[in-house]
Chain A
Amino acid sequence: MQSDEQLMLEFKGGSNEAFEELFSRYRNPIYGFFRRRLNHGARAEELAQETFVIIIRGVERYETTATFRTYIFSIALKQLWSERRKGLREARTTEMSLETGPSTDPTTGLWIRDAISRMDPDHREVLMLREYEQLSYEEIAEVLAIPLNTVRSRLLRARNEVRILLDEQSMKGVSR
């Protein structure tokens, strides 16, 4: 099985099939990245599409100085931040809220979603990149442009924070 970087180089060389393989690998992760962080599914789909289009357009200048995984999630994160800035300007909330989100288990998914949405933003981003995008500590540090030790400390605090929030929700749920 070819690595992501090899496929990207082949795509740079003109092989559209290589990109199709990359797309099949990252289609769901990138869509999930936006879908977990935004309320609007259509907007998540658009941003996922824009992320892949950026990769297509920038392939001529792609260099293997970083893993493709870091590369694509960096682009996705940049798109997300841009969307958030735009949302602030338009005074509308595009981030997670308490409205019903997509989940295979509505109850559990809703609780987790609610807990994560109430986390400190810095902690939340590190936690989500680790738990849902399955990035390594080094990849998170690279994507967020922060030191590795900062990633560790933030992740530890994030887990403690989300554990408390989930416990609180559990308590509320039991009391109901």
Chain B
Amino acid sequence: MSHEHPISPEELMAYADSQLSADRTSQIGAHLESCRDCAEAVADAKALSSRLATWQIEDAPEPLTRSVLAALETRPRRNELRSAVRLWTKGRVLAYGFGGAVFVLTAVAGISLVQRYREMREYDTQRSAGLSAPEEIPRTWPFIATPPPPPPPAASPQGTIGRLSTAQQPVLPSSSTSGPLIIRSVQLTLVTKSFETARTRIEAIVQESKGYVDSLSVRSEPKSPKSLSAVLRIPEMTLAASLIELRKLGEPKQESQNSADITGQYVDLVARLSNARNTEQRLLALLRDRTGSLKDVVAAEGEISRVREEIERMEAERKNFDNKVQYATVQVEITEEYHAQLQPPLTNTGTRIHNAAVEGYETASDTILGIALTVLADGPAVLVWLMFLSSVGFIARKLYVLIRARRLPGTIASI
């Protein structure tokens, strides 16, 4: 075969392998009739193929058939398994991400709601106890369009509340009814570290305020903390300063103040008292200026005595009013710190369980809050990293599939 042959060796080989088009096959066939070298080349190629074909392999063993057909029988289960394993499809990743975001937002909102609720409860408790309210107005509830509760009255420098601003004015004379007459009472519960010091200070405070101790009792029993219960009468003018001093005796646990307006009662009492005095004066005038039978004189004196008794009773009542208005009643309960912190001894198992449940709830809330804060603090960075790694993984997966597709054409990439 020389270089002048119009047909290349590769084409002759392809002719021998029947790998040419029909036209080219007929052209080469015609050439072979006139070219002995090319015909020999084709014959050699066919002979070689025939020789190679003598290397035969036995049929596939029967176990192969059984094992493949057995695998075929498990096909549905395998597909189910594959679909179950393919958890991280694109759609599922989006669904998982969305679900996770919703969960985090719900958790954060729920925790925030619980936290606000607890703050509101604490605020309400303080307000109802009459303790000094926090300076800041409570924040509005999240997601709830209701207005916040009205802010507590501004605390005076002495820490008093409500109508104390008017009550702090000098008490009107008992004969005057130009201003409101207020009877004030205060209940104060304290927990002190030093019981004896507190007791001593109470007497000193009362003395400094020009008041007096109405009653005082101390309870001290073995294996029991000391407690003190006292009713103090403090002049209205010095009540605010005295309360400040009393609060310093320990940690206030409860404080409440009440005010009662007795102006109407007082005015009525004064009017009745005036009338009674006028009646007494008229009866005395009648007895002095008029003459009559003994029976009439005795009747007039009896009436004067009744009116006098009534006047004295009303005078006493008025003095009592004056006393109550001028001296506020302060009821003080002081216990040692130990008792206040540990609560009264729990003998009821149900109570213990209840308290344990409350503590557990608070601990769980704090834990969830901590987790939420961590998520809020670090979550964005973690999300950024996850997005970055997911992108890298996605690109790597695509490249891997492309490489496999190039190495194994057709649908091999789907293996």
Contacts and interface: CB of A to CB of B under 8 A. Distances in A.
A143 B409 CA distance: 6
B52 to A, nearest CB: 5
Most A Cβ at <10 Å: residue of B57, B72, B411:
B57
A137 B19 contact: yes
A63 B64 CA distance: 26
Interface in A79-123: 102-105, 108-109, 112-113, 116
Nearest to B81: A57
Interface in A24-68: 27-28, 30-32, 35-36, 41, 45, 48-49, 52-54, 56-63, 65-67
A20 B72 contact: yes
Contacts of A59: 75
Contacts of A145: 406-409
A21 to B, nearest CB: 12
A66 B60 contact: no
Given A53-B68, A74-B408, A153-B10, A48 B60 contact: yes
B415 A113 contact: no
A6 interface: no
B56 A136 contact: no
B72 A19 contact: yes
Contact of A152 (B13, B49, B65, B68): B13
Interface residues of B, number: 43
Given A74-B408, A78-B407, A49 B57 contact: no
A66 B54 contact: no
B271 interface: no
Contact of A32 (B57, B69, B79): B57
A63 B411 CA distance: 6
A162 interface: yes
Contacts of A104: 56, 58
B9 interface: yes
Contacts of A4: none
A48 B57 CA distance: 14
B373 to A, nearest CB: 46
A16 B64 contact: no
A170 B57 CA distance: 22
How would you classify the secondary structure of chain B's contact residues: helix, strand, loop or mixed?
helix
B45 A152 contact: no
A36 B410 contact: no
Given A27-B64, A131-B49, A78 B13 contact: no
B65 A71 contact: no
B68 A65 contact: no
Interface string B1-30: 000000001100110010100000000000
For B54, B65, B73, B410, the residue with the greatest tally of chain A CB atoms inside 10 Å of its CB is: B410
Nearest to A48: B64
Contact of B55 (A31, A52, A77, A108): A108
A109 B55 CA distance: 5
Contact of A56 (B55, B63, B71): B71
A132 B56 CA distance: 9
Nearest 5 interchain pairs by C-beta: A66-B410, A61-B414, A31-B60, A32-B57, A112-B55
22 contacts: A16-B72, A31-B57, A31-B59, A31-B60, A31-B61, A35-B57, A36-B57, A45-B61, A53-B71, A54-B415, A56-B71, A61-B411, A71-B411, A74-B408, A74-B412, A103-B57, A109-B54, A116-B55, A132-B53, A152-B13, A159-B13, A162-B48
